[in-house]
Structure 1
Amino acid sequence: MIAGPEVSHLVAQYEAACGTKEGTEHTSHHEETERAQRVFFENVEKLSQAMKDMGNPFQEESRDLLSLDTKDIAHHTAAELIGTHLEKCKVRFQEFMKGLEGEEESTFYEPIKKNRVDFFRQVPASVDSSKQKVLKEDCQLFSKLFISCQSRECDLKEFFRHENQSHPAALSDGGKLHTCQKSHLTTILESQVTTPEAEPDADTIIIDGAALVNSLPPRSSKTFEEYAMLDVLPTIQAYSTKYKRTDIVFDVYRPSSLKAETRSKRGREKSKGMLFFHAFTGCDVISAFRGKGKKSAWQTWDVCDEASGVFSKLSQYPPVVDDEDLKTLEKFVVMMYDRSSTAEGVDDARSSTVNIIFDMGDRLIDINQLAENYSQEHISALLALHAFTGADCTSAFKGKGKVRPMKILNQNSKFIQIFAAVGDSWEIDELVLSGAEEFTCRLYGFSPRIKKVDEAREIKIKKICGSSLELRQGLSVDLSTFPPCKRVLLEHMKRVNFQVCVWKRAHEHYPEIPSPLDHGFHINSETGKLEPLWFEGRRHPQSPR
């Protein structure tokens, strides 16, 4: 350090020897004072204690850069900066030394330019300029196509039956599924019931594995195995003494999963679940059952070490409980953090004879009380509405959310009947499709007499252009405000119907689920992954000869 204590002594001795300045009696550095040394010692002790409590980062074998206190994974660019920081400094120094060889380039007293690097700076979220550029180009392309269609006297109705671009602006973000705040639906439903002040007595607790990991930050654990044995297992054993049965459910992360795209958007910067998911690879996931004699009977399901992470089928093991014991399991507590799953829980509560309580961490939701406010048909409609307005495998309508669709559904019994029929069969009924088309028109603010989305798209452009149907130069056209064309809505409804079919068959032990390739998805020839099929056929109308 230039201002360090050693340099201060040398400067004082140099000044005294040269006579340029009288030597001073006190040549100690300000950091050599008793108070400064005491504060430094306390900080070192705190850091050492933090490493003992949180784990020594120098013993980590992972290549990820972790935060010491929260265990959050920093962005990979931060790890690259630290790995290359020393080399960058050496390059700066070599450039400075080379500059000394020619005085005309640099002098000895010229400072070395500082490398300004902030490793853990939180980059504020901003709209990517490339996305704005793509949207602008799409709008310009749409305008040119529309003008060309008019000049060639094409059929305007045929023009609006096509999306006229590779990805529908109303449902996609650059070819990916558009997402929304899914928990808004839970907020609406939760406002209709009274939150229990205390957790009621229950026979069974079903724990979301990811929620359990997020609620148990590692303290003294240094490895994944220690974390599982010291932090997770004692918590599970405590639950087993309180409940007759404790089940832990982990979602399976397969590369070919329909949720792969949604998980990729969540990233790894702030995800503890992604970090500690591998803690259970090769270990045991335990389900506990306490019988009538208050003896704990344990059964384990081994997790495969393969990348697919497929759980062993329960049929390979003897049953934990018999039919007589199952009759005693009358009330469930579900511990989870995903607020978007309330709609599925209400459907389960209405179709079962047990009591279900959702533990959201900071509050409880009585699912049975919530289900009593709706008929079975209405609950089935809510399940389909949740998928229609955006779930993990289905896209949301830009700018529409879930509050407005919920209001439209509750105000019209016709839409309740239509959405209740979604998912009854793997094939979409024509009445369901036409009803979804009418609902989409209502969602975009059109009058009840407008029931076709292609007609609604034509009316929308007429409002922008006026009676002349001419796009003026510089006129902005936001394509995301247009409802999707019927061909796009058809593929969207295929994905919605497929998702609801899976949800409605969740009670079956081994449901027969067909391939998603015929239900709004296709395999990307380059990546080999499942992707949404936005529409079939041409994106533009065929030009007249």
Structure 2
Amino acid sequence: MNIMKPVGLKTFQEYATIVFLPYIKAQLANVKWLDIIWDVHRLDSLKSTTRVKLGKCVRRRVAATHSIPGNWQEFLRVDDNNTEFLAHQVMDNVPIEKEVYSTCGDHVLCFCVDRDVSTLAPCSHDTRKLLHDMDAVGKGYNQIMLRIVDTDVVVLAVSTVVLLENTQLWIVFGTGKHLRYIPAHQIATSLSAEKAHVLSMFHAFTGCNTASSFARKGKKTAFDSWKSFDAVTVFFARLVT
């Protein structure tokens, strides 16, 4: 929703029909399995403090005939602005011959009534995207693509792909001229399985949206230091465990 802005549209139904659903159907044209993962930011989450600091937000009930707010980015920052309407729109409109899953709050919607989703829901943590990747691998898929605009998820993907044997995990990152295709599996191989597995700990330790970075010491400097001291990998592994 950060990528697909409702330019010139008045209601959420228009947004679903003209912008959101065509995008989803375009993705389905080239894949057999699609997971749509919605962010859930909770009041007791460390991330919520960061979101509050971003400024005033717009609270708006999401329903078919309700008006789209003028400031889209402020609207997306509100925890209470749920996405259940769009999640149900997907289930009601995508081709039934495809395997499609959409999170809806803590739960998961899917076409297959007999499909066991107990390994996917209920769930509320930020690594939910990778949980769905592991589920797809468990069903025999070995080529996965993540469409994201979040640097944290790139790090998590590299850390997770070492757990997914014989899997190609591609990340479609950014928008417009900054769009990039990042092979998480190749990055993990170049780092080594041990370092890739603890990359998320390195990322948090050297600064992320819930942890401060070192003064005047960027991630490249920290990474160069890490390459010189193998004991750091052992230490990070203990923290991860």
TM superposition score normalised by structure 2: 0.69
Question: Cα deviation per residue 1:401-442 (whole Å; 9 max; x = unaligned)?
Answer: 322211111111112221222120xxxxxxxxxxxxxxxxxx
2:98: which partner in 1?
Answer: 296
> Considering only CA atoms, is the larger Rg found in Structure 1 or Structure 2?
1
1:253 aligns with 41
Deviation at 1:392, TM superposition (A): 2.7
Judged with a 3 Å threshold, the aligned counterparts in structure 2 of structure 1 residues 242 and 326 are, in CA distance, closer, same or farther, namely same
Confirm or deny that 1:318 pairs with 2:114: yes
Matched, 1:241 2:36: no
Residue 388 (structure 1) aligned to one of 183, 205, 223: 205
Instruction: Look up the SS of the partner of 2:169 in the other structure.
Output: strand
Q: Deviations over 1:297-318 (max 9, x none)?
A: 55665x4xxxxxx332569963
Amino acid at match of 1:347: S
Equivalent AA in structure 2 for residue 398 of structure 1:
A
How far off its partner does 1:381 sit? 3.4
Q: 1:281 to 1:389 in 2, by over 3 A?
A: same
The superposition leaves residues 506-527 of structure 1 with CA deviations (integer Å, 9 ceiling, x where unpaired) of: xxxxxxxxxxxxxxxxxxxxxx
Query: Which of 345, 350, 355 is the equivalent residue of 2:157?
Result: 345
SS in 1 for 2:29: helix
| 1:24-81 deviations in Å (ceiling 9; x for gaps) | xxxxxxxxxxxxxxxxxxxxxxxxxxxxxxxxxxxxxxxxxxxxxxxxxxxxxxxxxx
Q: Please list the CA deviations of residues 156-181 of structure 1 after superposition, one character each: whole Å capped at 9, or x if unmatched.
A: xxxxxxxxxxxxxxxxxxxxxxxxxx
Q: 1:241 & 1:320 partners in 2: Cα distance?
A: 25
Query: In angstroms, what is the RMSD of aligned CA positions?
Result: 3.5
> What is the distance in 2 between the residues matched to 1:335 and 1:299?
15
Q: 1:232 aligns with which of 8, 20, 45?
A: 20
- AA aligned opposite 1:243: V
Equivalent position amino acid for 1:284 in 2: A
User: How many residues are treated as equivalent by the alignment?
Assistant: 201
Name the CA shift for 1:218/1:282 in 2 (closer, same or farther; >3 Å): closer
CA distance in 2 between counterparts of 1:369 and 1:320 reads 32
Evaluate the alpha carbon distance shift between residue 418 and residue 260 of structure 1 in structure 2; reply closer, same or farther with a 3 A threshold: same
Runs of 5+ consecutive residues of structure 2 not aligned to the other structure: 58-70, 118-134
Shift of 1:367: 1.0
Distance 1:408-1:325 versus aligned 2 partners, 3 A rule = closer
Higher relative contact order, structure no. (Cα contacts within 8 Å, ≥ 6 residues apart)? 1
Distance 1:300 1:334 in 2: 14
Other-structure match for 1:214: 2
Match of 1:518? none
Name the % identity. Answer: 25
> Distance between the aligned counterparts of 2:28 and 2:205, measured in 1?
38
1:404 aligns with 2:221: yes
Aligned equivalents of 2:227, 2:21: Cα separation in 1: 45
- Could you tell me which amino acid in structure 2 is paired with residue 368 of structure 1? H
Q: CA deviation at 1:337?
A: 1.0
Residue 385 of structure 1: CA displacement? Answer: 1.2
Residue type of the alignment partner of 2:154: T
Counterpart-to-counterpart distance in 2, 1:281 and 1:314: 10
Equivalent residue runs for 1:16-55 within 5 Å: none
- Alignment partners' CA distance in 2, 1:216 and 1:379: 32
* Matched-pair contact (CA < 8 Å) for 2:36–2:101: no
1:359 and 2:161 equivalent?
A: no
When residues 237 and 314 of structure 1 are mapped into structure 2, their CA distance, relative to the original with a 3 A threshold, is closer
Q: 1:417 to 1:296 in 2, by over 3 A?
A: closer
Deviations 1:229-248 (CA, angstroms, capped at 9, x unpaired): 22101111121121111211
| Distance across 2 between alignment mates of 1:364 and 1:324 | 20
Which residue type is aligned with residue 342 of structure 1?
V
Is the contact between residue 162 and residue 188 of structure 2 (CA under 8 Å) also seen in structure 1? yes
* Distance change (3 Å), C-alpha of 1:401 and 1:290: same
Once the two structures are TM-superposed, the CA of residue 336 in structure 1 deviates from its matched residue by 0.8
Q: 2:62 corresponds to which residue?
A: none
Q: Counterpart of 1:378?
A: 195
Q: Secondary structure at the match of 1:335?
A: strand
Unpaired runs of 5+ residues, structure 1, are: 1-212, 304-309, 425-545
User: 1:136-192 CA deviation, whole Å, 9 max, x = no partner?
Assistant: xxxxxxxxxxxxxxxxxxxxxxxxxxxxxxxxxxxxxxxxxxxxxxxxxxxxxxxxx
Per-residue deviation, 1:268? 5.3
- Residue 369 (str. 1) matches residue 164 (str. 2): no
Q: Distance in 1 between matches of 2:136 and 2:240?
A: 30
SS at match of 1:422: helix
**How far, CA to CA, are the matches of 2:74 and 2:113 in structure 1?**
29
Letter in 2 for 1:280: T
Distance 1:218 1:326, change over 3 A: same
Identify the match of residue 284 of structure 1 among 53, 71, 87.
87
Tell me the SS of whatever aligns to 1:334.
strand
- CA–CA separation in structure 1 for the residues paired with 2:230 and 2:212: 25
Q: Quick one: which amino acid aligns to residue 375 of structure 1?
A: S
Give 1:112's aligned residue: none
What's the offset of the Cα at 1:364? 0.7
Which one of 51, 54, 63 corresponds to residue 266 of structure 1?
Answer: 54
Q: Do 2:146 and 2:169's aligned partners in 1 also have CA atoms closer than 8 Å?
A: yes
CA distance in 2, matches of 1:382, 1:410: 12
Name the counterpart of 1:275. 75
